[in-house]
Amino acid sequence: MAHTSTRCIILGAGDYYGTEAHALRMAGLAGDGAGCDPLVVAADGGLDHAAGLGIRPDFVIGDMDSIASRFDTEPLGEERDSADPRGTAESRLAAYATSRLASGPYRGLSVITLPSQKDDTDMMSAVKAGWMAGAREFHILGGLGGRLDHTIGNLQLLGFVSHAGGTAFLYGDRLNAVAVTDGSVDFAACPIPDFPMVSVFSMDEESRDVTIAGLKYEVSGFTVANTVSQLSNELMGTPGRISVGAGTLIVTYPSVVPAPAVTTTRAYEGATLGDLSDAVSDRLSDAGRRQEGLA
């Protein structure tokens, strides 16, 4: 699983809205040679989307309950040590690989199989795995729309990555989303889209010293609470900036414009998102474990 890119593309199982080609271009995975060679992770049913896009992921991770295409797996030939918290990030990640695909177009692809009763979602697991492999910038497809609960969870995931000093983008239908902690989101000058809306939400109880410049409605040094959102601002075709002095903001922006540049004073050197949730949750009650056939 060795990889040197700090950019990771995660293919989720959700809706792609027919905009995946545009998202892949912005994330540097287009077939035109643009961008770097990113790490590509299929989160469970995202493997089906990978097949439709003609992409070979670096590995697939999840409880394997949403993959439509059936495949066989075979155990890894080499011996795997348990995840050693003292080891390198990649060695800890490699320790989780349990098998390889033994059939279909992805024969030989590494598989990290997780229990369905784990604490983390498959998407969270994919992000953690990408971070363990060295990625710090995440582009997530198939994570907005469809199930509302997963959408909310993935928006929270943006803030989780941002708090650690990384950056994560969620690609949707008309709108994408990104989080920033103690930093800024900068939009380049571009033609004004038909749907130019930009909105700002606070992930923290309060996000302070918020400034919006270069958009239709400009403000400076105000506080955004998590009970009141700043909706329906607009791009004006000129460079625009949204910054926050203290706190974490979620910024939604039109999916047809280039991904904004995100900067933060948070340092991710030494930061961790935690190890993978590869065991049945110990939060389950005894009755719950019996119901699931785990006790």
Quote the tokens at residue 110. 């590494």
Would you state the pLDDT for residue 204? 92
Quote the tokens at residue 24. 């892949």
**Is the pLDDT confidence value at 293 over 60?**
no
**Is the pLDDT confidence value at 218 over 80?**
yes
Mean pLDDT on 194-217: 94
Q: What percent of the chain has pLDDT over 90?
A: 39
In the chain, count H helices and then E strands.
Answer: 6, 17
Name the one residue in this structure whose structure tokens are 């363990």. 132
Residue-wise pLDDT tens digits, 148-167: 888 888 999 999 999 999 99
First to last CA, the chain: 34
Contact 38, 29 (CB under 8 A): yes
User: Taking the CB of residue 118, how many other CB atoms lie within 10 A of it?
Assistant: 18
Q: How far apart are CA 89 and CA 158, in angstroms?
A: 21
pTM of the full structure: 0.86
Spans of all domains in the chain: 1-173, 175-265
CATH architecture designation of domain 175-265: 3-Layer(aba) Sandwich (3.40)
CATH superfamily, domain 1-173, is: Thiamin pyrophosphokinase, catalytic domain (3.40.50.10240)
